[in-house]
Amino acid sequence: MTLSRDRYLSQIADESARLLATSPSALEQPIPHIEGWTVGDVLGHTGWVARYVTLLQAVSPDDPPSRSAIPNPPAGAEVLNWAAEAVDGLTVALEASDPEIVRPSFAGPVPARWWVRRMAHELSMHRWDIDAATSSPTPIDAAISVDGLDEIFQVFVPTRMRFETLAGTGEIVHLHSTDEAEGAGEWTATLLEDRVDWDHSHTKGDVAVRGSASDLLLMMWSRIPASRLQVFGDANIIDRWQEAAAF
């Protein structure tokens, strides 16, 4: 499913406020599930992405800005203000954008509303990353998580999946959300040599995973292991997914 533009903008506002409330004393905390990254690295990455996406809202697909146009994040506590300025600029740019005007993206030319959706998920995931390093992480909103699972199959599998690592031969993965999220709560994905076919059907799989929509999303983004959820069948298929889909 796809949520409304206002819903995505609301998610951006909520999650960015939580992410930017990070204490300076937490900046050196390691991110437990991303080797070599700290809380400060996540904030720096978020600020960099926000600045780059802001630039994309003002250019045509034929004239994308160079990634070198964005400076590297500052070191130390300055990264908090740097990230806050970036997210503020991003929010203004997305709110002012014409949803249908075509902009560049890593998935090719897209309507500007595509970026509103993408950044709602980007900020939600990185807020969770910081929570996981500093406290007990709060789940990502259920409706956003359902949409985020759709986005994985719609956007990231075609553009970022390492199919040679996935080595699909027709294995079927079935995901079942156990909470009352908006829209579909089931996904069936068939792993093939060069693509993943998927829909919202209820189909018996080689591996089935049940859990909250948030936990399913986090698992598919390699944030948590499948063992945190209910798994039936060949869990090695999920291990292969996580290795091939470390987007």
Instruction: Name the one residue in this structure whose structure tokens are 């069936």.
Output: 188
CATH architecture of 145-244: 2-Layer Sandwich (3.30)
Q: Largest Cα–Cα distance of the chain, in whole Å?
A: 51
Q: In a 10 Å sphere around its CB, with 0-12 CB exposed, 13-18 middle and 19+ buried, how is residue 71 labelled?
A: exposed
CATH of domain 5-134: 1.20.120.450
Global pTM? 0.96
Q: What is the DSSP letter of 60?
A: -
The per-residue pLDDT string of the chain (247 residues; one tens digit each, 9 = 90 and over) reads: 689 999 999 999 999 999 999 999 999 999 999 999 999 999 999 999 999 999 999 999 999 999 999 999 999 999 999 999 999 999 999 999 999 999 999 999 999 999 999 999 999 999 999 999 999 899 999 999 999 999 999 999 999 999 999 999 999 999 999 987 555 689 999 999 999 999 999 999 999 999 999 999 999 999 999 999 999 999 999 999 999 998 8
pLDDT of residue 184: 63
Q: What is the DSSP letter of 130?
A: H
Alpha-carbon distances, residue 160 vs 152, 170, 228 (angstroms): 10, 19, 25
Q: What is the DSSP letter of 167?
A: -
Q: Which residue ranges make up each domain of the chain?
A: 5-134, 145-244
pLDDT of residue 247: 80
**H-state helical runs in the chain:** 5-20, 39-56, 78-96, 112-134, 142-151, 157-160, 163-166, 213-220, 236-244
How far apart (Å, rounded) are the C-alpha atoms in residues 61 and 105?
8
pLDDT of residue 221: 97
How far apart (Å, rounded) are the C-alpha atoms in residues 214 and 11?
14
Give 11-58 as a DSSP string: HHHHHHHHHHT--GGGTTPBPTTSTT-BHHHHHHHHHHHHHHHHHHTT
How far apart (Å, rounded) are the C-alpha atoms in residues 25 and 64?
37
Residue type, 235: A
How far apart (Å, rounded) are the C-alpha atoms in residues 158 and 13?
29
pLDDT of residue 182: 55
